[in-house]
Amino acid sequence: MTPLTPASSVVATLAATPDGAPVGIPPDALTDHPAQRTWQTVVQRMEQAMVARQAGAGRTVVLVPYAQLMNAGRRAWARAHPSGFPPRFESTRNWASSLQPFLPGPTDLSMDAARDSLVAAAFIDRVAAGRLDAALRSVMVARLVEGARQLAPLAAAVHPDQRLPWADARREALAQGNVQSLLWEALLASLALAWVSTSSYATDVLWGPQAQPGDVADTLLVLQGFQQDPLATALAAHWGERAAVLDWYDSDAPQAVSAAPRLHACGDAEDEAQRAAACVLTHANAGRVPVALVANDRLLTRRVSAMLEGAGLTVRDETGWKLSTTRAAARLMSLLRAADGRARMDDVLDLLKQAGAWPEAQVLALEHLARDAQVSLWRSAVESPRLAAALPDGLATVLAGLQPARPLVRWLQDLRDALVAVGLWDTLTEDPAGQQLLAALRLVDGAVHELASVTDALLNQDTATQRTARTGERPGGRLSLSAFTAWVRDVLEGVSFMPFSAGPAGVVILPMAQLLGRHFAATVVPGCDEVHLNPSPEPPGQWTPAQREALGLPAREVLAHSAAQAWQTTLTLPQLDVLWRTQERGEVLLPSASVQALLPPGTEAQASGATDPRAARVLHAQPQQPPEPSAGDVLPESLSASAYQDLRDCPYRFFALRQLRLVDAAELEAEPDQRDMGNWLHAVLRAFHEQRGDTRPGRAVDRAELDRLGNATADAMGLNAGEGGAGFLPYQAVWPALRDGYLDWLAGFEATEGRAGPRFEQAEATLTSQAGAWKLYGKLDRIDQQDSPEGVIPFVIDYKTEGRPKTMERVKEPLEDTQLAFYAALLPSENVRAAYLSITDKRSDNGKDPATVLVEQPDVLMAREQLVAGLAHDMARVAAGHAMPALGEGRVCEFCAARGLCRKDFWSTGR
């Protein structure tokens, strides 16, 4: 990976601001810029239109396609006419706001996510009360808001007095001809038309007396962008002969490409992001600022933006991104997820780690206890005596207080109180995204009254269906926690976060269409692949082509023509870099068809004609050797069988897991696995034999007792449905076979040995002993006693639920089997028997071996002697500071917890 060069000369370049010129562009470069030449032509056309209408510039309003062109137009006019009154360069929305402030009505389409989602939900409930489940209702609300916002520009382009007939005509067009749609789609289209046709808009003032032709101005000039603005076109028709619609370009004259663009074929998305950032930094360091960064791929653009900000460039983003993707939104949603009655422990820990009301040490202590006890549900943690002392003070009360249903206004008030209580309020108010979030949700002082008026109006307009409020899903009534959370999520999804940048920006992120008429010293266009730069873009929304035609929405062909115009304009810009990736997640990705037209004949799509602007560094390989630590001063106080097995398997594993005591954190959400099943079976057999003792009540009684103990133990361990969910059901399914196999073995074992044979003594016995200077300890599954001529002999039995071949392999080499020899060393008796009891749910493949088999180690006494001597020798070497190398061999490494620490996968020894 090659590094990015810092923006060393950016600050000095941005400081130079020539009079009347965009920041960073020298005055002598303006006359050669395509945007300047275009503005010269546009200004000439404006002059001709004014002369034809005998209007002065001071009495002329010029409507531009988007607000950023207002200043560009003023500068262009000032260069052509240094003296005299200039025309008013306005966008439709800016012009309307200058004439009259706008306050939407309770049910108007306001383009505000909080209000619109409430109104849309009320409309859905009014026409489909009781016919929708929560999930479908949520989808329909989002679809209705989306559809209404797409129709709003068309409705705003109609005089307010003509909107109802306009909507009726389109409703009839949808019902006639070949426009086919399903029930719910037709309902949403009808609702969207009704909503936009009965709403008032901020631009309605442009139809009123305050914007009367000849009063507010004598002439209206409309500059159309790549795509026709319905409102501007309608206003031009409304002004009649006083208006003129001007195109930016002569459609018959081809646009000349100023210079050949630099084409960069990149490997993957990360390579493309790095290379795009390097292109921007190269331009900035050369004094070519501001740089336009075109946002074809929003995810890629955010990655590039982060790199540029890290390199010291000031970035102004004119596109923004969804507020729901910000960290502020994640903090808020963590509180709502934790308040759910079914919240997982992970949800609450996520909240605690982001909140500031409780010390970090207390949060970590709670997490440690929860993982150790495997408490995965928050309600279980609240009820657990073991975790009671570690629960943060007041947290349970705050979360429980958010669970009952309540009206929306009360929800917002209580949510604000909860944010203060958990320490998130100050964090949100100090974050720009958090400030926008609080404003969008009306959590700031006094803002909630706006939504209160909306909900009251919705209820008053729909008294006939107020019974639906009892469902807990009605915005104007009582909302359940899940419904309120869905509303919050919709609001955050519907709001764009626009980060604030103070001072002149070295980089401007913008859509390709807004390069029109803008002065940029350089332009970088990443995301020019076949997916993100489609010459025929997919029309937005869920409308079919027939519906789009009936509603008057632009067709795919119109959008394709606009995209082609934007691309051709981009190609005229100086210092242009075009980037695309050649693969996405292993799949081959071709450049856009627009880019392929630029490639020289015979050039492969993967070839790049431009030099990589990243500075290359040579990194010399540093071989990684296997670690060989020594830690004679860090010795365990005592050794278990598994600890000594670690030392025999791999000294480094013993060093990491036993001497440094590094352990994996337990999973909170772990489903019951084979280990849980083994622990459960051990606990069941222990309780069974401790109650049964040496009595033999019969198979029917034993079977019933094992079933009872199995259920009781599973409940005590949290394995049954509830805390453990359904994860333990597969093990419960094989329990009858395990139980019957064990009882078959027990009956044969007791019948063969008779009363003089082994008798149950104790289970889960914890024993200690000495091996030289070293203390040994262990917990034995079961110890029987057997009479013999030499006296009573202890018989150690260790339960195994693993595969039968693995258990048989353990006893083949006595000196390789650590466990039974170690257990024998824990017993003071000179004579010992030891065996594994292999418990499975089926017979062996040959059908001869039963499900449960006793696998005895006949040479356990010899193995015990060798183990004690070897253990003393090995531990003496460890204490003396001998190296403990990582062996990196055998199956031990496959699931070793210390593998990431020894870094076996990066060794350079070839082992």
Strand (E) or helix (H) holding 684: helix 674-692
165-174 burial code (b ≥16 CB/10 A, e <16)? ebbeebbebb
Helix (H, G, I), strand (E, B) or coil at 265: strand
Q: How many CB atoms lie within 10 A of CB 831?
A: 15
What is the pLDDT at residue 422? 95
Question: Do the beta carbons of residue 605 and residue 596 sit within 8 Å?
Answer: yes
Q: How many residues does the chain have?
A: 911
The answer to whether residues 806 and 844 touch, using CB atoms and an 8 Å cutoff, is: no
Closest CA to 331 of 352, 357, 345: 352
Closest CA to 518 of 880, 908, 30: 30
CA distance 113 to 467: 26
DSSP state of 849: S
End-to-end CA, the chain? 27
Amino acid identity, position 187? L
Is 891 exposed, middle or buried, given 0-12, 13-18 or 19+ CB atoms closer than 10 A?
exposed
Of 203, 225, 166, the residue nearest 551 (C-alpha):
166
DSSP output for 355-416: --SS-HHHHHHHHHHHHHHT--BHHHHHH-TTTGGGSPTTHHHHHHHTSS-EEHHHHHHHHH
Distance from the Cα of residue 291 to its chain's centroid? 30
- Alpha-carbon span 865 to 161, nearest angstrom: 103
Q: In the prediction, which pLDDT does 721 show?
A: 53
Q: Tell me, what's the pLDDT at 464?
A: 43
For residue 9, which phi and psi values (nearest 5 degrees)?
A: -110, 15
Please report the DSSP string for 598-610 in residue order.
TSPTT--TT---S
Q: Give residue 179's identity as a one-letter amino acid code.
A: V
What are the per-10-residue average pLDDT scores of the chain (911 residues)? Answer: 46 34 48 82 93 92 93 93 92 94 91 91 82 80 92 96 94 71 79 94 94 92 92 95 86 58 93 96 94 94 94 91 93 96 92 91 91 83 88 94 93 95 95 94 89 82 48 62 92 88 85 92 95 90 87 92 92 93 90 89 66 88 88 90 93 93 78 81 92 86 93 80 62 88 88 68 92 91 85 91 90 92 92 93 70 92 94 93 88 86 80 46
- How far apart are alpha carbons 836 and 803 in whole angstroms? 12
Query: How confident is the model at residue 906, as a pLDDT?
Result: 85
DSSP string, 748-767: HHHHHH-TTS-EEEEEEEEE
pTM of the model: 0.81
DSSP letters spanning 787-843: EETTEEEEEEEEEE-S-HHHHHHHTTSGGG-HHHHHHHHTS--SS-EEEEEEE-SS-
Query: What distance in Å separates the CA atoms of residue 570 and residue 562, rounded to the nearest whole number?
Result: 12
Nearest alpha-carbon partner for 631 in 664, 658, 601 = 658
Q: Are 108 and 123 in contact (CB under 8 A)?
A: no
- Token pair, residue 63, equals 């409507």
In degrees, rounded to 5, the angle at the alpha carbon of residue 18 between the alpha carbons of residues 13 and 19 is 155
Q: What token pair was written down for 437?
A: 């979030």
Cα-trace Rg, the chain: 38
For residues 233, 239, 242, 246, the Cα torsion angle rounded to the nearest 10 degrees is 0
803: number of CA atoms within 13 Å, CB side? 4
Contacts of residue 818, Cβ cutoff 8 Å, sequence gap at least 6: 641, 644, 645, 648, 867
Q: What's 725's DSSP letter?
A: T
651, 885 contact by CB (below 8 A): yes
552, amino acid identity: G
